[in-house]
Amino acid sequence: MRNIIISTFVLLFVLTGCSTRQGQYRIGLSQCLDDAWRQKMNDEMERELLLHPEMRISRRIAYGSSELQCAQIDSFIAERVDLLIVSPNVGEEVKPAVTRAYSAGIPVIIADRRVSGEDWTAFIGGDNYRVGQLMADWVLSIQSTQKQALHVLEVAGLPGSTPATLRHQGMADRIAQSGGIHPEVASVMGAWYKEDAYRVVADYLRSHKDVDAIVAHNDLMAIGAAEAVRDSKGYGKGSVRIMGVDGITLGLEAILDGTIECSATYPSRGDMIIETAAHILSREPFVRDTILETILIDASIANPMLMQYRARMHDFETLHIVQLQSESRWQQIRYGRIVIVLIIVGVSFLFLIILAFLFYSQGSIKKEIKRDILPQLEEVQEAIQLSHRDVAFGERLKQIVDDHLTDPKLNVEFLGSALALSRTQIFRRVKAITGKGPLDYIRERRLVRADELLRTTDMTIQQVALELCFSSPGYFSKCYKEYFGHLPSAR
């Protein structure tokens, strides 16, 4: 019975077990924002995840609030995710929550914006200082064609965030180190948003009518700035040269349609982040600190880059369709499996019920046999044994009686001593076997012998009566008639 149960469970495990690796690891992704650059990062992650069905990701967005991001990280810790990916809003503000996750034993990958200290497992992000240098190089290349100092407006990202700080620093250092005329750079804060950038740039242009170039810390703000230029008095569409950062699709399109002049790539590499996560989870070696390269994109390379992005997007969509199809196929297979498992469970259950019933009824049959049939059997057995004994006794009795028919001492006492039984036992047993008392039985045997002698010898009635110990010939004749129904006659 135990074996049957174990084998049923093993079978169920084998039939359902194949799907256990699917979605085995739960990854928490904490994104500080939900802009186009991060959507690109998310898409890259999704694409890579197609190759890693063992991982499933759940994403939370902090919408630019470090406080909300800390709370979201804490909820991931409480849910005991297997790995955490954090793209911090402001590194130092989010750091305590990152440390809590790391100390709780959850591997943490920091993406894009750095967190100081060592409480993280891996970092993957762009080189923001280098981005700042590229911004400066572009400004300096324009400056080199001018006699007066250029008036440059820097539209910075969220203060305190590493990209805003380092891009600013990289640009300032490079300009300070450059020879020749130094451009004049003013800074406004666009906090990464197009609308904020539009507002601060439009404000600035209202009071400054000689801005030559705008460097925005991302493409979105660069486009916002371009719109502000277009709408500002004294300026007009294309009257200020504009550079963005990120080089995402909307930035490349803005370059191609002349809204902005150039951008610096700021790779998001969601694919690399997922690959690193896979390595960490499967305890394979991984690179702890990855700094991604950045290059300047102008109109000459914007088009091929855009085509490449679109092709990749198309591939992703195709892959996604294939994945959906295979998922639905897989779903069908899974349903098929569930049906098989249910059938097996049903059949096993039935089987167990039948077995249980058999066990039960076997028990009750046993009880019945013990209660009713066995005693009867014993009685029958006893009766058989008894009759065996009786037959043997009857034969011995007949033998002894027949051997001593002519002996006048043949009586109950004689039989008692010959058969080693008491008088009472002789009476009881002879009566039980022959149906008559011992003396009647002896007389009957004598009469049978007398009849035989009368028929087979020349002996007279008197001789036979004497021979067989009858007290007188008259008594013999009386007994003979009683037994045979007629008087004796000699030959």
Hey, what amino acid is at 26?
Answer: R
Q: How many CB atoms lie within 10 A of CB 239?
A: 12
Q: Which is nearer to ligand FRU, 164 or 415 (CB)?
A: 164
Q: Is 218 in the site for ligand FRU (CB under 6 A)?
A: yes
CA pair distance 329, 340, nearest whole angstrom = 17
Q: Find where tokens 């450059």 sit.
A: 178
Hey, what amino acid is at 98?
Answer: V
Q: Is 245 in the site for ligand FRU (CB under 6 A)?
A: yes
Q: Which is nearer to ligand FRU, 205 or 223 (CB)?
A: 223
CA pair distance 34, 417, nearest whole angstrom = 123
Q: What angle do CA 312, 243, 214 make, to 5 degrees?
A: 155
Q: Is 88 in the site for ligand FRU (CB under 6 A)?
A: no
CB of 191 to ligand FRU, least distance (A): 9
User: Which one of the spans 31-39, 309-317, 373-381, 397-405 is the region binding ligand FRU (CB under 6 A)?
Assistant: 31-39
Q: Which is nearer to ligand FRU, 204 or 266 (CB)?
A: 266
Q: What angle do CA 240, 192, 190 make, to 5 degrees?
A: 55
Q: Which is nearer to ligand FRU, 76 or 266 (CB)?
A: 266
User: Which one of the spans 17-25, 35-43, 307-315, 478-486 is the region binding ligand FRU (CB under 6 A)?
Assistant: 35-43
The only residue of 25, 30, 35, 397 in contact with ligand FRU, by rule CB under 6 A: 35
Q: Is 46 in the site for ligand FRU (CB under 6 A)?
A: no
Q: Which is nearer to ligand FRU, 61 or 454 (CB)?
A: 61
Closest-by-Cβ residue to ligand FRU is 218
User: Which one of the spans 8-16, 29-37, 386-394, 424-432 is the region binding ligand FRU (CB under 6 A)?
Assistant: 29-37
Q: Which is nearer to ligand FRU, 212 or 246 (CB)?
A: 246
Residues comprising the chain, all counted:
491
Residue 416 backbone class (left: φ over 0; alpha: ψ -120 to 50; beta: rest):
alpha
- Give the strands of the sheet with 122-126, arranged side by side: 55-61, 25-31, 83-87, 108-111, 122-126, 289-292
CB of 271 to ligand FRU, least distance (A): 17
Which parts of 436-455 interact with ligand FRU (CB under 6 A)? none
The only residue of 196, 212, 246, 261 in contact with ligand FRU, by rule CB under 6 A: 246
Q: Which is nearer to ligand FRU, 152 or 191 (CB)?
A: 191
CA pair distance 276, 282, nearest whole angstrom = 10
Hey, what amino acid is at 93?
Answer: E
Q: Which is nearer to ligand FRU, 167 or 443 (CB)?
A: 167
User: Which one of the spans 33-41, 65-73, 316-324, 416-424 is the region binding ligand FRU (CB under 6 A)?
Assistant: 33-41
The answer to whether 4 touches 351, Cβ cutoff 8 Å, is yes
CA pair distance 44, 334, nearest whole angstrom = 28
Q: How many CB atoms lie within 10 A of CB 297?
A: 23
Binding residues for ligand FRU, total number by CB under 6 A: 13
Q: Find where tokens 């909820």 sit.
A: 75
CA pair distance 25, 48, nearest whole angstrom = 15
Q: Which is nearer to ligand FRU, 40 or 429 (CB)?
A: 40
Q: Is 107 in the site for ligand FRU (CB under 6 A)?
A: no
CB of 33 to ligand FRU, least distance (A): 4
Q: How far is CA 121 from CA 101, 223, 261, in A?
A: 11, 36, 38
Instruction: Provide CB contacts within 8 A for 100, sequence distance 6+.
Output: 73, 74, 77
CB of 41 to ligand FRU, least distance (A): 9
Q: Which is nearer to ligand FRU, 33 or 461 (CB)?
A: 33
> What are the residues facing 25 on neighbouring strands?
55
The answer to whether 268 touches 289, Cβ cutoff 8 Å, is no
The only residue of 37, 123, 138, 480 in contact with ligand FRU, by rule CB under 6 A: 37
Q: Is 183 in the site for ligand FRU (CB under 6 A)?
A: no
The only residue of 44, 48, 112, 227 in contact with ligand FRU, by rule CB under 6 A: 112
The only residue of 27, 33, 109, 222 in contact with ligand FRU, by rule CB under 6 A: 33
The answer to whether 210 touches 229, Cβ cutoff 8 Å, is no
The only residue of 25, 76, 129, 192 in contact with ligand FRU, by rule CB under 6 A: 192
The answer to whether 219 touches 251, Cβ cutoff 8 Å, is yes
Q: Is 157 in the site for ligand FRU (CB under 6 A)?
A: yes
Q: Which is nearer to ligand FRU, 131 or 153 (CB)?
A: 131
384-420 burial, b if ≥16 CB within 10 A, otherwise e?
eeeeeeeeebbeebeeebeebbeeeebebebbbebbe
Instruction: Provide CB contacts within 8 A for 364, sequence distance 6+.
Output: none
DSSP 8-state class, residue 80: T
Summarize as ranges the residues that interact with ligand FRU (CB under 6 A).
33, 35, 37-38, 112-113, 157, 163, 192, 218, 245-246, 266
